[in-house]
Structure 1
Amino acid sequence: MKDHANTNCDRMSRTKNMAVIGLMTAVICIAAPFSIPIPISPVPISLTNFIIFIAVYILGMRSASICVVLYLILGTAGLPVFSSFSGGLAKLAGPTGGYLAGFVLLALIQGFVLERFPGKKYAAVPGMIIGMAVCYALGTTWLALQTGQSFAAALTIGVLPYLPGDAIKIIIAAITGPKLRAAVRRSLNK
């Protein structure tokens, strides 16, 4: 009888986790298309990285990375979940495709750091910073290749204008992320 109860508990836990993965994937898909184009860059301002920061807090490295991969699959399949309500393989292969692919690395890196130092209040901050740096490096390299610009020129239009906003997103995520994680965990344990 005890094994049956444990099996049911494990199934319930997996079901709840899958539901939260689906919910966070939906949040990414809903928030990401709302973007602000800026005249000097093909890269728009969006909340996608902020939602990924929060997803990592709530779900951890593995499940948040699954969310990001699902988001990319849905967008590549043609759903209008990428910036400016676009989708399709052309968007992933276009100038901003490297940043989109870099979101997976962002989730993995932030999640790894967060899980490696679970008791530290702001442990995810270095993970978010390093994850964004890796995302930016991949995105800038791809942008340079797609536009025929030098890496420095692509960095100037694809990264530098976004640093202040991303710093604010990291600060807000570092403050709200642990609270959201605790709230979600409490609700899942009911």
Structure 2
Amino acid sequence: MTHDAPLLHGRNPALWRQGALILAGTVLIAVAARVSVPMWPVPMTLQGLAILVVGLSMGSRLGALTLLAYLAEGAVGLPVFAGGGAGLAYMAGPTGGFLLGFVAMAWIAGLAARGSLPAMIGASAVAALALYVPGLAWPYAVASGLGIDAGWASSEAGALWAGWMQPFLLGDAVKAVLAAVLVHAGFRATGR
């Protein structure tokens, strides 16, 4: 029997545990996506909070894998995105850049997994801000780079700031602190 035999027979407990954690993370994010405050151009949901919790509790690698799995679920048509959205057409819409940025958000937050509370808050804040890079690049690229005239696309910095970033900053700051406090308290309570 080779060293790889348990994996080939599906008996690798670490692999099963990681798969279960990824599935649980995608379910948490999908449920959080349903808690929505209507705003334009994208709704404000608890997705960001759930993604930060996933990254902080699972670490960078497993957190990023969880978000890739979440995106794959949405791409194949499972209604996991905000408002029950799903499919590639949804992913190419206004939220496309933010959806891709979720992977980086979880990865960055995961850099502080099992760290001190200040480290977790800092990583969460940086991760929340980093989400705006692809989030704002997407409507800019659609409007100016691709030349597509979509009502939500814009190549003007003022419009991107006013409609895509500024309304969400306070909520993102609260989510960053809350995620860090929740995960840190959870680790302390479980002795991890």
Q: Do the two structures share a fold, i.e. TM-score over 0.5? A: yes
| CA RMSD after TM alignment | 2.3
Q: Which runs of 5+ in 1 are unaligned?
A: none
Asked whether the 8 Å contact 1:33–1:80 carries over to 2, the reply is no
The Cα shift of 1:73 comes to: 0.7
Question: Aligned to 1:151, which of 141, 157, 174?
Answer: 157
Structure with more of its chain in helix, by fraction: 1
- 1:164 equivalent to 2:170? Answer yes
**Counterpart amino acid of residue 150 in structure 1:** E
Partner of 2:108: 109
String of CA shifts for 1:89-118, please: whole Å, max 9, x gaps.
111111110011001111111212x15xx5
The Cα shift of 1:141 comes to: 1.6
Runs of 4+ in 1 over 4 A off after TM superposition: 182-186
String of CA shifts for 1:113-171, please: whole Å, max 9, x gaps.
x15xx543321222222222221121012123331341331121111111111111111
TM-score (norm 1): 0.82
Partner of 1:132: 128
Asked whether the 8 Å contact 1:58–1:184 carries over to 2, the reply is no
How many angstroms apart in 1 are the aligned matches of 2:74 and 2:191?
29
Q: 1:69 to 1:96 in 2, by over 3 A?
A: same
How many angstroms apart in 1 are the aligned matches of 2:95 and 2:50?
18
Q: Which runs of 5+ in 2 are unaligned?
A: 143-152
TM-score (norm 2): 0.81
Partner of 2:18: 17
Q: What number of residue pairs does the alignment pair up?
A: 174
Asked whether the 8 Å contact 1:79–1:87 carries over to 2, the reply is yes
The Cα shift of 1:77 comes to: 1.1
The Cα shift of 1:185 comes to: 7.5
**Counterpart amino acid of residue 58 in structure 1:** S
